[in-house]
């Protein structure tokens, strides 16, 4: 596709349920980032994948959060036992490994935990 | 710890006046610096970046930014603001391990 694709665009879930958020990066982009955007909190770094290297998970807020990237392409962010404070917009971005890492963002998944 | 600061939550500027959105950073080594913009109900878009070379970089929509190593700043500027520039602006920094972190964002209001 032409850009980064995220699905679903909106997700409403009950507290305690698990959710999966999907990101399809731009073809050929080896780097993939996940961020969380909450009101007044800016963009919070969650996790970063680069090729086949071990991901940088330093931004994941708790062990309820995990992410994987299969075949160096599609990535899934999983939140287990969701809490109301997990409500936010989750953004995925991809980039080439060169050129300073200009990020191309998807439109995000708006997660609401009720 | 590595960090990016945008000291102003909101900046108001009259149309036609120059605008500045401030950004300072704290990273070890040589940073790569970026500005992104988020228009209402739209995704984040790249505006400009500094990697090396000339400290003044020019980007999309007439924006520019100046890298100041001594002050560890990368302020975003535009000589003449447009109402259509009203949006949320994010400064970002990348350093050695390719992690990219963002500031909290500055909401820019251009008043007609």
One digit per residue, the tens of pLDDT, for chain A of length 114 reads 589 999 999 999 999 999 999 999 999 999 999 999 998 678 999 999 998 888 999 999 999 999 999 887 999 999 999 999 999 999 999 998 766 789 999 999 999 999
Interface test with B, best of A38, A53, A102, A106 (most B CBs within 10 A): A102
Burial class (CB in 10 A: 0-12, 13-18, 19+), A72: middle
* Nearest CB partner across the interface for A91, out of B44, B97, B101: B44
Which residues are within 8 A (CB) of A14 and not within 5 positions of it... i.e. 6 or more apart? Answer: A82, A113, A114
Rounded distance between C-alpha atoms, residue A45 and residue A34, angstroms? 7
Structure tokens at A44: 């919070």
Q: Do residues A23 and A67 make contact, with C-beta atoms less than 8 angstroms apart?
A: no
* Tens of pLDDT, residues B19-70: 999 999 998 888 899 999 999 888 899 999 999 889 999 999 999 999 999 9
Rounded distance between C-alpha atoms, residue A25 and residue A48, angstroms? 13
| Per-residue confidence (pLDDT) for residue B40, from 0 to 100 | 84
| Per-residue confidence (pLDDT) for residue B9, from 0 to 100 | 95
A101: left (phi over 0), alpha (psi -120 to 50) or beta: left
Is B67 near chain A, with CB under 8 Å? no
Tell me how close the Cα of A18 comes to any Cα of chain B, in angstroms: 26
Rounded distance between C-alpha atoms, residue A21 and residue B11, angstroms? 34
Task: For residue A44, count other CB atoms closer than 10 A to its CB.
Answer: 18
**For residues B89, A27, A98 and B62, what is the CA-based torsion angle, rounded to 10 degrees?**
-30
């Amino acid at each position: 596709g032409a850009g980064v694709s995220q699905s679903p665009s909106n997700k409403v879930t009950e507290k305690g349920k698990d959710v999966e958020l999907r990101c399809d990066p731009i073809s050929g982009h080896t780097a993939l980032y996940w961020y969380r955007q909450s009101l007044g909190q800016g963009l919070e770094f969650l996790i970063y994948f680069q090729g086949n290297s071990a991901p940088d998970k330093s931004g994941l807020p708790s062990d309820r959060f995990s992410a994987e990237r299969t075949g160096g392409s599609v990535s899934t962010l999983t939140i287990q036992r969701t809490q109301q404070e997990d409500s936010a917009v989750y953004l995925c971005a991809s980039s080439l490994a060169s050129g300073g890492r200009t990020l191309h963002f998807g439109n995000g998944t708006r997660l609401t935990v009720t | 710890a590595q960090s990016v600061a945008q000291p102003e939550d909101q900046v108001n500027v009259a149309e036609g006046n120059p605008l500045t959105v401030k950004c300072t950073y704290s990273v070890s080594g040589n940073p790569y610096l970026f500005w992104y913009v988020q228009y209402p109900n739209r995704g984040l878009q790249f505006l400009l970046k500094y990697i090396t070379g000339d400290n003044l970089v020019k980007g999309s929509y007439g924006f520019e930014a100046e890298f100041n190593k001594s002050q560890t700043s990368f302020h975003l500027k535009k000589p003449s603001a447009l109402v259509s520039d009203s949006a949320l602006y994010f400064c970002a920094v990348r350093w050695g391990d390719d992690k990219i972190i963002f500031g909290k964002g500055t909401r820019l209001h251009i008043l007609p």
